[in-house]
């Protein structure tokens, strides 16, 4: 295949990359500090094999910040997208269509196929590491694409190796990344489209030399509507070698939808990148490490003080280590003593260290994700107490949860759903769904905790109505029990198949009404039946003279 020549395309991508680099530069200093004081080997700068070994954990004397970042990442992963329990469901905007059985069955099948795709690929491992990047640097990014053998592959990116651009709605829609590859990898992936320099290295068997490669994914503004090919899709994908001839690109492909997500923790203004718990607690982390160093120095001054002694013992080779023995003449024997006396103040240092540790934990919501094990209060704790206290903390984390649902998880489900449909893993949707929008609802643990306020409101309403109903019976007329149950089930995240459809409920009630009417009719007919049976018995009773008891009763009357 011949090399792809498009000078304008390559030039436009490089100009866009230069602009994205300028926009990211102000963040990079903070990111480097976060990596040094929270967790090394988490960025492009220190995660590569060429990074100096002496940069590993040289600033970390106290691991509270590192552990807190881990608690946050694990809590977000299990609370938002746990592989062991459902965390999303598909439904429709139309409530009547939502209860239609063929539609429910088809959507349930789609859910199962998407869950199976996630479970059979590296998806959960990839997004788990992404949550750690999010808590540390305020942003994470990953690319998820279809794979011919395993179904899909998710590529998590490290901070520093990518640049993101946002659209007019302030949503990330462009991703540029630096993808350093070996000579062998470049030739295997792009074949004869590589530069002459890379081809020469390959011919010389220099397979492990590194080749700087850039990859751009962005909306395709030059897409020709109605023309379907790899260069006319909604998003375009372009690879090129850094430093190669400006009229060459390695590949020009496309995607039918955005194949990546770039979610932020909290965004301020028109920024492409977000702030994070690590940024908020960076000063505390630096102060904590400094306090640990000062505490160790303080203990050294106490346990290993600088000593002063007579010059006569210098020639004798005095041994001042614990248990050491020094020989000296009686006339020369003098005691060593500290240069100055240090008053132990370990408690002061520990109080300050504890204060900084607690501040860092609060920034990383450790008290929320470990609420049960670390909650202060009377033992044993009941579920209501835990729900109320956790609910208060969730109000602070709520906006972050909403952003992850929208910027990350919704995008991931959309990509997986597209792959499932494209590969024919689900049948054709029912005709009732044509032209209808499929709604995605998140039912993870954290999403349900957000909805707990709505559940409490519903329960309090019913308790209030129950309280006043004995005095004002008409109060119960304000409540629609069927709608209340459905709303409560939705807020609770219950499986939709647990709730009968409105049609099924109406059928059951109609049958029950018919059975009640039949029973009432049968009960009303019992006295007449008994009277008829008594009359028949009297007519058949012979009282003599060819006269029945009934006849005698009638003649007597």
49: tokens are 């094999």
The domain total for the chain is 2
Least confident of 52-61, 99-108, 115-124, 352-361: 52-61
Instruction: Return the percentage of the chain with pLDDT > 90, whole number.
Output: 47
Query: Is the CB of residue 328 less than 8 Å from the CB of residue 316?
Result: yes
273-326: pLDDT as tens digits:
999 999 999 999 999 999 999 888 888 888 878 877 777 766 667 777 766 667
Is 249 among the domain residues?
A: yes
Is 173 among the domain residues?
A: yes
* Average pLDDT, rounded, for the chain: 83
Eight-state DSSP code of residue 428: P
Nearest to 117 by CA among 85, 146, 142: 146
415 vs 221, more confident: 415
Summarize the confidence of residues 90-114 as an average pLDDT.
Answer: 88
Q: Is 290 exposed, middle or buried (0-12, 13-18, 19+ CB in 10 A)?
A: middle
CA distance 388 to 543: 84
Q: Band the pLDDT of 188: cuts 50, 70, 90.
A: very high
Q: At a CB cut-off of 8 Å and minimum separation 6, what does 25 contact?
A: none
Is 29 among the domain residues?
A: yes
Q: Nearest 5°: CA angle at 150, between 147 and 154?
A: 60
**Residue 312, CA atoms < 13 Å, CB-side half-sphere:** 11
359 vs 435, more confident: 359
Cα end-to-end distance, the chain, whole Å:
119
Domain range for residue 523? 515-556
Sheet of 151-157: strand order equals 151-157, 139-147, 260-264
Is 463 among the domain residues?
A: no
CA distance 536 to 450: 73
pLDDT of 538 over the 90 cut: no
118-154: pLDDT as tens digits:
999 999 999 999 999 999 999 999 999 999 899 999 9
Query: Is the CB of residue 31 less than 8 Å from the CB of residue 43?
Result: yes
> Beta strand 172-178 with 181-182: parallel, antiparallel or unpaired?
unpaired
Summarize the confidence of residues 396-402 as an average pLDDT.
Answer: 88
Question: At CB < 8 A and 24+ separation, what contacts does 127-131 make?
Answer: 127/77, 127/81, 127/154, 127/156, 127/408, 127/412, 128/73, 128/74, 128/77, 129/73, 129/156, 130/156, 130/408, 131/72, 131/73, 131/74, 131/76, 131/77, 131/80
Q: Band the pLDDT of 375: cuts 50, 70, 90.
A: low
Boundary of a domain, candidates 246, 264, 282: 264
Boundary of a domain, candidates 264, 298, 328: 264
pLDDT of 554 over the 90 cut: no
Q: Is 471 exposed, middle or buried (0-12, 13-18, 19+ CB in 10 A)?
A: exposed
- Identify the three-state secondary structure at position 310: coil
Q: Band the pLDDT of 1: cuts 50, 70, 90.
A: very low
This prediction's pTM: 0.79
Boundary of a domain, candidates 243, 264, 285: 264
Least confident of 179-183, 333-337, 371-375: 371-375
408-421: pLDDT as tens digits:
999 999 999 999 99
Is 331 among the domain residues?
A: no
Q: Give the number of other Cβ atoms within 10 Å of residue 420's Cβ.
A: 21
pLDDT of 205 over the 50 cut: yes
Is 278 among the domain residues?
A: no
23: tokens are 């926009």
The confidence score (pLDDT) of residue 321 equals: 73
Summarize the confidence of residues 500-507 as an average pLDDT.
Answer: 76
Least confident of 175-179, 229-233, 267-271: 229-233
């Amino acid at each position: 295949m011949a090399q792809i020549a498009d000078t304008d395309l390559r030039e436009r991508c490089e100009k866009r990359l230069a602009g994205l680099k300028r926009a990211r530069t102000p963040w990079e200093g903070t990111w480097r500090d976060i990596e040094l004081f929270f967790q090394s080997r988490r960025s492009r700068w220190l995660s590569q094999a060429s990074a100096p070994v002496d940069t590993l954990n040289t600033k970390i004397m106290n691991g509270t910040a590192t552990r807190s970042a881990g608690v946050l990442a694990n809590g977000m992963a299990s609370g938002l997208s746990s592989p062991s329990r459902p965390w999303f469901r598909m439904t429709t905007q139309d409530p009547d269509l939502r209860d239609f059985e063929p539609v429910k069955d088809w959507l349930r099948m789609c859910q199962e196929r998407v869950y199976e795709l996630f479970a059979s690929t590296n998806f959960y491992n990839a997004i788990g590491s992404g949550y750690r990047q999010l808590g540390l640097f305020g942003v994470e990014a990953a690319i998820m694409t279809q794979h011919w053998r395993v179904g899909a592959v998710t590529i998590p990116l490290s901070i520093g190796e990518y640049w993101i651009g946002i659209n007019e709605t302030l949503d990330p829609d462009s991703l540029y990344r630096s993808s350093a590859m070996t000579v062998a990898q470049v030739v295997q992936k792009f074949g004869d489209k590589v530069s002459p320099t890379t081809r020469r290295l390959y011919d010389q068997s220099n397979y492990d030399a590194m080749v700087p490669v850039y990859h751009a994914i962005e909306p395709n503004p030059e897409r020709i509507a109605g023309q379907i090919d790899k260069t006319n899709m909604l998003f375009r994908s372009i690879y090129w070698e850094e430093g190669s001839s400006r009229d060459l690109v390695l590949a020009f492909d496309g995607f039918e939808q955005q194949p990546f997500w770039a979610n932020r923790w909290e965004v301020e203004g028109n920024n492409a990148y977000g702030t994070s718990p690590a940024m908020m607690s960076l000063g505390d982390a630096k102060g904590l490490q400094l306090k640990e160093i000062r505490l160790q120095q303080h203990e050294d001054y106490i346990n290993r003080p600088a000593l002063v002694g007579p010059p006569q013992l210098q020639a004798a080779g005095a041994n001042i280590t614990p248990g050491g023995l020094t020989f000296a003449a009686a006339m020369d024997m003098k005691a060593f003593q500290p240069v100055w006396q240090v008053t132990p103040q370990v408690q002061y240092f520990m109080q300050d260290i504890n204060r900084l540790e607690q501040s860092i934990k609060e920034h990383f919501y450790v008290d929320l994700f470990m609420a049960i094990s670390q909650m202060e209060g009377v033992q044993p704790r009941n579920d209501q107490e835990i729900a109320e206290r956790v609910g208060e903390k969730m109000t602070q984390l709520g906006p972050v949860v909403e952003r992850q649902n929208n910027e990350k998880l919704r995008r991931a489900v959309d990509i997986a759903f597209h792959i499932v449909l494209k590969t024919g893993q689900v049948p054709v949707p029912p005709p009732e769904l044509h032209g209808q929008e499929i709604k995605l609802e998140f039912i993870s643990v954290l999403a349900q905790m957000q909805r707990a306020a709505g559940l409490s409101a519903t329960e309090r309403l019913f308790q209030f109505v129950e309280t006043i109903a004995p005095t004002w019976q008409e109060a119960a007329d304000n409540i629609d029990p069927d709608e209340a149950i459905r709303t409560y089930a939705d807020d609770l995240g219950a499986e939709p198949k647990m709730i009968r459809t409105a049609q099924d409920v109406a059928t059951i009630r109609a049958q029950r009404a018919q059975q009640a009417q039949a029973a009432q009719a049968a009960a009303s007919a019992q006295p007449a039946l008994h009277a008829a049976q008594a009359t028949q018995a009297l007519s058949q009773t012979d009282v003599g003279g060819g006269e029945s008891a009934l006849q005698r009763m009638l003649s007597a009357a």
